[in-house]
Structure 1
Amino acid sequence: MTAALRVEDYRALLSAALPRAQDADTVHPTVNTLFTPDSHRLALEPDTTVVQGGRGVGKTFWFRSLLDPLLREVAAQEYRIDRLRELEVAAGYGAALVPDRYPGSAELRSLVDSGANPYELWTTVLLVALGHRDLAAVGSWKDKIAWVRDHPGDRDRTIAAADRRAQAEGKVCLVLFDALEHLHLDRRQADRLVAGILQLALELRLSTRNIRCKIFIRPDMFDGALLHFPDASKLTSNAASLKWTPANLYGLFFHYLGNDRAPLAADFRSMRPGWDETTAGRHVPPASLLGDEEVQSEAFTALAGSYMGANFRKGYTYTWLPNHLMDGAEQVSPRSFLDALSKAVEETIAQYAGHEYAIHHEGIRRGVQSASRTRVGEIREDLPWVQTAIEPLNGQQVPIEEDLVVSLWGESGLTAALQAEAESTAAEEDVRTGPRHADRYPGLIEELIDLGVMRRRKDGRIDLPDVYRIAFSIGRKGGVPKVKT
């Protein structure tokens, strides 16, 4: 074991290893960045059809990893899922523009707006993925869908033959769906399209042994699709959720530090024995750095010190960071976690270069503020009605009595504002999911709790987790300061 790195070395390694921008559409998984948290094993099982997760938890990461034979092999080895080696994988939909495999977003909207049936559309995509020869000669997706509609018997024979072939070869044909929020600007149409995917996926589970779909989806979109395809609930028995524990998050962090291409990464690995190079160029942290919180805390303390200030009363750095990034369901997205750390290092270098540790505690606070702005921006895009519901609470402090929340909503005319917002977006053909209980405030609170934006304390008062509270300009006595606008 070598001596600890100097503070300057740590900062250089942190700056190089932590990703600058955590954008799922532009960051592609590699052997070095592939991280396999134990809680994600079920999501990769071929028979797991629905994989739920919010923004930044790894849906697109795993979608792209499963499409890559080398990354599938690494995952098969580390998760001990031999069936991952037996997959024939195709993309049924994703953010990448691959018009020969599936319609792009613009063409997809044109198809749906002209009356295409979502189930028939996705069945056509499936047949293309299975290599249907006659469809290859048909030009446009509109014509392909019409061909499939006119040849139901050929459709069934193609699927049955592909199932038999896969079984004889010991293979599983897996069709992946991701980026479902880009299916259609009109959320009602997007829900219908998702329902069509779920209908096809359920049919394949019931009628074939070796053809499967895997659908990476936000929980609110899965709930919306249930309105159009109630039988989709049958898929929940084998569904998975992409969860991250604090130990998983710190394991990811140390994985990044040990897998950077800079020479300092090798120095970091040499400080603690047990790193394993299972694949050329990819280093797996020792089990203690992946799952032992005491060891992780010791390692993080060497980077950021023990406390968020002068002493323990300000909080311990190791627990403080994830605790202040948790949503109401006590979940932290790795994107928020890494963004906060990247900002913390940036602030430390700019403002506290003489600090004794590589990361200053004030940098961590500002990192949480930055992550809060990003998270609120994401929910504004996904569910704009949430901002409308929270705005009447601006300037208040949490925890707050539920009666006061209801009173503030009533005084602000929230129900009318939500209804007007829904009518306005509908007129613009850019509909997003509105609340189920716009006119029933206790139900609206429960809906916000389900989304993780609010949580209820044991004494009944309503709280907002810091990852939302800070950027929404709601105070907490002694808490992280609100973002100044």
Structure 2
Amino acid sequence: MTTALGAEEYRDLLSDTLPEATDADTLLPDLHTLFTPDGHRAALYVDSTVVRGGRGVGKTFWYRSLLDDTLRQVAAQEYGIERLRRLTVSAGYGASVKPDLYPGTSVLRQLAEANIRPYDIWYAVLLTALGQPELRELVEWRDRVAWVRANPGASERTVQQADQQAQEEGTTHLILFDALEHLHRVRAQADRLVSGILELALAMRLGTRNIRFKVFIRPDMFDGALLHFPDSSKLTANAASLSWSRASLYGLLFHYMGNHGSDRADRFRRLTGGWEADAGGRRHLPPALLSGDEQYQAEQFALIAGPYMGANYRKGNTYTWLPNHLMDGVEQVSPRSFLSALGKAVSETRGKYAGHEYAIHHEGIRRGVQTASETRVREVGEDMPWVRLAVDPLAGRQVPIDQETVLELWQEVRLTDTLRKEAERYETQDEDTLVRTGPRHPDDPGRLIEELIALGVMRRRRDNRIDLPDVYRIAFNVGRKGGVPRIAG
């Protein structure tokens, strides 16, 4: 019988296994990192046009995986979605610079300033993906869009012919959209551009049988775009979300550990039992680790981090404590935050508690949560700088806090004036400035709170007071009695 790995062996395996960089742009999917949680099945259905998810939940990962023939076949097999095997997939928009496939940020800004209808922009992208020969000969996107506007009949025939050919071949054209926060720095323009994508997606869904869009999008951007075109509510009926259960998060960790090529990983697989390898060398989790046997998962994690966050159960259970303190205001945990926290916990333990009986010390887990909070706040500051402007005035305070107090703090710092000036500044900056999106209602503090709640940065308690989840609270230097403190250094 295989015995458990020692603390240092687990520590080395985790160091080898956890990705050094958990940013979506640097962590490329491959056969060994592809993980298929049950909760993501609906997002992979070809007819799931909209896939909602916050930062770090896997939107870009799935976008890239679906563009890869091999990974798409693996997903089809593991999810039992046969239609994924019969796809022609194209990128309609993404973070990578691909001017032959879709216009970049600077070009989109020029097109928007020329008052070109977003629907026509994305129609040109669609026809390019479908191989419209006259469009392929045009280099500039403004010329492609002009061709679409001047040739509505030829455009419709291209769609009809592509749909018919796909029907005869038993395939589907799938056009993928990701990184929509990079479309335009002005929130109103970004909403219009996203709305154009969704309006065309709905037209293809209603008017063709074999041309489909899949749009990976932040929930707040989806909600804003729906305001701009009729029948938009039809897209919500089949919208899917990339959510992560606690069992899926630990399943991801164990998947990484079991798919490493070291002897320690081999011992880990023999210890947990039931692993199977496919022809590509990818190792599949045993059902107890994959399908949600949380008791078994907790037992395995206790071998790594001990059962408790201190001397006894009163300090909390390590298995539940970590995801609970990484959860945002809408009760979602980003796997990126989860893996980042574990990576920091390992390095903290190795540096300060090397003689600890477990691979991860509970103080390392606390430090990991603090680091994950700092990362999450930095990310939200990159995507939406206005969030930091809104929450910074709460620094030094303690939550839960009365909404009236929040509004008073905002009034003291003249937040609405600052937000208005920020919006004007982004509108006038040069085209190479990173894209930013602001709040929809900068002049209405009450609606600002509701938007922060929708983003998961805040949450409203039953007594109507405002709270901040730890994953934001810690790095924003907001206190909570008995909560995880922010530790400098």
* Residue 458 (str. 1) matches residue 462 (str. 2): yes
Structure 2 match to 1:154? 154
Structure 2 CA distance for aligned equivalents of residues 150 and 428 of structure 1: 33
Structure 2 CA distance for aligned equivalents of residues 251 and 142 of structure 1: 47
- Structure 2 portions without partners, runs of 5+: none
Structure 1 CA distance for aligned equivalents of residues 462 and 156 of structure 2: 55
Structure 2 CA distance for aligned equivalents of residues 420 and 316 of structure 1: 47
Structure 1 CA distance for aligned equivalents of residues 97 and 411 of structure 2: 46
- Per mean C-alpha deviation after superposition, the further-off stretch among 2-11 and 204-213 is 2-11
- Structure 1 portions without partners, runs of 5+: none
Structure 2 match to 1:242? 242
Alignment of 1:29-428 (within 5 A): 29-290=29-290, 291-428=292-429
**1:347 Cα deviation (Å)?**
0.9
Q: 1:421 to 1:270 in 2, by over 3 A?
A: same
Structure 1 CA distance for aligned equivalents of residues 411 and 112 of structure 2: 39
Do the aligned residues in 1 keep the contact of 2:474 with 2:484 (CA within 8 Å)? yes
Secondary structure in 1 matching 2:185: coil
Structure 2 CA distance for aligned equivalents of residues 258 and 360 of structure 1: 22
Residue identity matched to 2:122: W
Q: 1:447 to 1:142 in 2, by over 3 A?
A: closer
**1:230 Cα deviation (Å)?**
4.7
Q: 1:56 to 1:157 in 2, by over 3 A?
A: same
Residue identity matched to 2:264: L
Structure 1 CA distance for aligned equivalents of residues 10 and 364 of structure 2: 15
Secondary structure in 1 matching 2:91: strand
Secondary structure in 1 matching 2:88: strand
**1:88 Cα deviation (Å)?**
1.0
Do the aligned residues in 1 keep the contact of 2:186 with 2:423 (CA within 8 Å)? no
Do the aligned residues in 2 keep the contact of 1:471 with 1:483 (CA within 8 Å)? no
Secondary structure in 1 matching 2:90: strand
Q: 1:159 to 1:438 in 2, by over 3 A?
A: closer
Do the aligned residues in 2 keep the contact of 1:57 with 1:335 (CA within 8 Å)? yes
Deviations 1:358-395 (A, max 9, x none): 01111111111110011011111222222122122111
TM-score normalised per structure 1: 0.96
* Pairwise CA RMSD: 1.8
**1:277 Cα deviation (Å)?**
1.7
**1:148 Cα deviation (Å)?**
2.0
Structure 2 match to 1:476? 480
Structure 1 CA distance for aligned equivalents of residues 423 and 155 of structure 2: 40
- Per mean C-alpha deviation after superposition, the further-off stretch among 108-117 and 298-307 is 108-117
Secondary structure in 2 matching 1:173: strand
Residue identity matched to 1:361: H
Do the aligned residues in 1 keep the contact of 2:185 with 2:427 (CA within 8 Å)? no
Structure 1 CA distance for aligned equivalents of residues 415 and 139 of structure 2: 50
Secondary structure in 1 matching 2:236: helix
- Per mean C-alpha deviation after superposition, the further-off stretch among 400-409 and 468-477 is 400-409
Structure 2 CA distance for aligned equivalents of residues 202 and 382 of structure 1: 27
Q: 1:438 to 1:123 in 2, by over 3 A?
A: closer
Structure 2 match to 1:20? 20
Q: 1:143 to 1:13 in 2, by over 3 A?
A: same
Do the aligned residues in 1 keep the contact of 2:187 with 2:438 (CA within 8 Å)? no
**1:232 Cα deviation (Å)?**
2.7
Q: Percent identity among equivalent residues?
A: 64
Residue identity matched to 1:469: R
Q: 1:439 to 1:96 in 2, by over 3 A?
A: closer
Do the aligned residues in 1 keep the contact of 2:459 with 2:469 (CA within 8 Å)? yes
Q: 1:185 to 1:433 in 2, by over 3 A?
A: closer
- Per mean C-alpha deviation after superposition, the further-off stretch among 213-222 and 108-117 is 108-117
Structure 2 match to 1:467? 471
Secondary structure in 2 matching 1:174: strand
**1:438 Cα deviation (Å)?**
4.1
Residue identity matched to 1:334: P
Secondary structure in 2 matching 1:324: helix
Deviations 1:166-218 (A, max 9, x none): 11111111011111112223333222221111111011011101100101111
**1:437 Cα deviation (Å)?**
4.6
Structure 1 match to 2:448? 444
**1:483 Cα deviation (Å)?**
4.5
Structure 1 CA distance for aligned equivalents of residues 131 and 421 of structure 2: 48
Q: 1:46 to 1:266 in 2, by over 3 A?
A: same
Deviations 1:305-347 (A, max 9, x none): 0111112221111111001000011110000000000111111
Do the aligned residues in 1 keep the contact of 2:182 with 2:436 (CA within 8 Å)? no
Q: 1:5 to 1:63 in 2, by over 3 A?
A: same
Structure 2 CA distance for aligned equivalents of residues 421 and 138 of structure 1: 37
Do the aligned residues in 1 keep the contact of 2:458 with 2:469 (CA within 8 Å)? yes
Residue identity matched to 2:409: L
Structure 1 CA distance for aligned equivalents of residues 408 and 189 of structure 2: 35
Q: 1:20 to 1:237 in 2, by over 3 A?
A: same
Do the aligned residues in 2 keep the contact of 1:74 with 1:279 (CA within 8 Å)? no
Q: 1:89 to 1:436 in 2, by over 3 A?
A: closer
Do the aligned residues in 2 keep the contact of 1:35 with 1:255 (CA within 8 Å)? yes
Secondary structure in 2 matching 1:237: coil
TM-score normalised per structure 2: 0.95
Deviant stretches of 4+, over 6 Å: none
Structure 2 CA distance for aligned equivalents of residues 160 and 39 of structure 1: 34
**1:463 Cα deviation (Å)?**
1.3
How many matched pairs? 485
